[in-house]
């Protein structure tokens, strides 16, 4: 039954996706006499943690119970109120853990402290689907970079738009609404200069009940962003970051900075584009754990071709654009590096979720 109850904890974690700030989305279920006495998930902003919420619900019923948690409980030596101490003080008898916390400050400290205090604590194998729930946490603390996803909207014949500007939208209204839910799972949305120059998007997240501001990131080599663009107009409630190769002392840069926009200088490569590795390093320094790339084709390809893409969300429309359409990828080399993980039907459209094969290799190594 351990796996059954741990799966229930992972279900709890799903309620926290996109709302936990820099903390991972964690779920917890407390069971006593084969009945649930407490449930919880990470609160908005990252605190209280899932364990604390579940223990609060369980109350005195936590004594002698089994606690199922998707991620190793936090255990900081100078924090008496750490989740590990709360579990010990509540009299929990057994703790079943899905994944270790790969933050070097706490790695294995939680499980070892529980054992030292007479609590049976163990890791059990989890499904690949559950591994994906906290892969961004592993990626950030082990690979030293954010998880990077790419979102594309394609016609049935693999085109992203009509080259003659015939139609702005390829996919249906339902698919476009679903994109906002995918955005809500990520810390920031990233686009290249062609996308914001041609489409003038706001790149905000519009989901009922979702209160977190969406950070927008643009790769703007030559700093061509229009001062009157939607990105600039919405910066008060939705942060904006620009990566550019232009002088930060220029009049335009100073104006954008005065509006609250953060601008970072990134070196340019021989091909004229910003150095993607430098962009990723800066994203890591800024503590971003989940980035969603929404275009354009060249920007998506620049990450994919360098091996910096973990997931792809491909929305496919039930229509054919034909020869006049623009292809979804620009010079894509690594299209065999992914496998189809899931398909979701959205009326006459569908969403395909593709996963980098490296994630399966990592899963097989650590599970």
- Whole-number Å distance between alpha carbons of 67 and 87: 8
Among 16, 127, 7, 113, CA closest to 69: 7
Residues belonging to the active site: 51
List the strands of the sheet with 349-356, edge to edge. 262-265, 240-244, 215-219, 188-192, 290-295, 147-154, 311-316, 349-356, 338-346
Q: Six-digit token pair at 277?
A: 């590795």
Residues near 182 by beta carbon (within 8 Å), at least 6 away in sequence? 149, 151, 292, 313
Pairing of strands 240-244, 94-99: unpaired
Q: How many CB atoms lie within 10 A of CB 135?
A: 21
Task: Please measure the distance between the N-terminal and C-terminal CA atoms of the chain and give it in whole angstroms.
Answer: 18
**Which SS3 state, helix, strand or coil, does residue 214 take?**
coil
- Whole-number Å distance between alpha carbons of 133 and 228: 38
C-alpha distances in Å from residue 211, one per residue of 18, 159, 184: 10, 33, 10
Q: Six-digit token pair at 332?
A: 């894509």
- Whole-number Å distance between alpha carbons of 304 and 126: 28
- Whole-number Å distance between alpha carbons of 187 and 151: 14
Neighbour-count burial for 296-317, b at 16+ CB within 10 Å, e otherwise = bbbbbbbbbbeebbbbbbbbbb
């Amino acid at each position: 039954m351990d796996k059954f109850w741990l799966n229930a904890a992972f279900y709890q974690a799903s309620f926290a996706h996109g709302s936990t700030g820099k903390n991972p989305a964690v779920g917890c279920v407390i069971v006593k006499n084969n009945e649930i006495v407490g449930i919880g998930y990470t609160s908005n902003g990252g605190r209280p943690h899932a364990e604390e919420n579940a223990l609060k619900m369980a109350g005195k019923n936590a004594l002698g119970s089994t606690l199922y948690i998707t991620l190793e409980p936090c255990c900081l030596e100078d924090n008496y109120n750490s989740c590990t101490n709360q579990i010990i003080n509540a009299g929990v008898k057994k703790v079943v853990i899905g994944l270790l916390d790969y933050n070097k400050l706490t790695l294995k400290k939680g499980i070892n402290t529980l054992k030292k205090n007479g609590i049976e604590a163990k890791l059990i194998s989890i499904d690949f689907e559950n591994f994906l729930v906290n892969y961004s946490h592993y990626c950030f603390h082990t690979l030293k970079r954010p998880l990077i996803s790419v979102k594309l909207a394609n016609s049935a014949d693999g085109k992203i738009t009509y080259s003659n500007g015939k139609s702005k939208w390829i996919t249906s209204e339902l698919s476009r609404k679903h994109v906002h839910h995918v955005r809500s799972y990520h810390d920031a949305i990233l686009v290249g200069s062609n996308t914001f120059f041609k489409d003038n998007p706001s790149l905000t997240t519009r989901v009922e009940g979702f209160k977190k501001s969406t950070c927008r990131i643009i790769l703007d080599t030559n700093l061509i962003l229009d001062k009157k663009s939607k990105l600039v107009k919405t910066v008060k409630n939705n942060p904006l970051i620009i990566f550019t190769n232009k002088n930060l002392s220029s009049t335009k840069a100073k104006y954008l900075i005065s509006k609250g926009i953060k601008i970072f200088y990134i070196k340019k490569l021989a091909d004229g584009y910003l150095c993607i590795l430098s962009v990723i390093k800066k994203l890591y320094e800024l503590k971003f754990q989940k980035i969603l790339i929404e275009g354009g084709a060249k920007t998506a390809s620049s990450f994919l071709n360098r091996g910096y893409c973990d997931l792809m969300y491909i929305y496919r429309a039930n229509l054919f654009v034909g020869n006049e359409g623009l292809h979804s990828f620009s010079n894509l080399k690594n299209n065999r590096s992914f496998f189809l993980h899931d398909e979701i039907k959205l009326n006459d459209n569908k969403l395909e979720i593709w996963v980098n094969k490296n994630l399966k290799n990592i899963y097989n190594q650590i599970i």
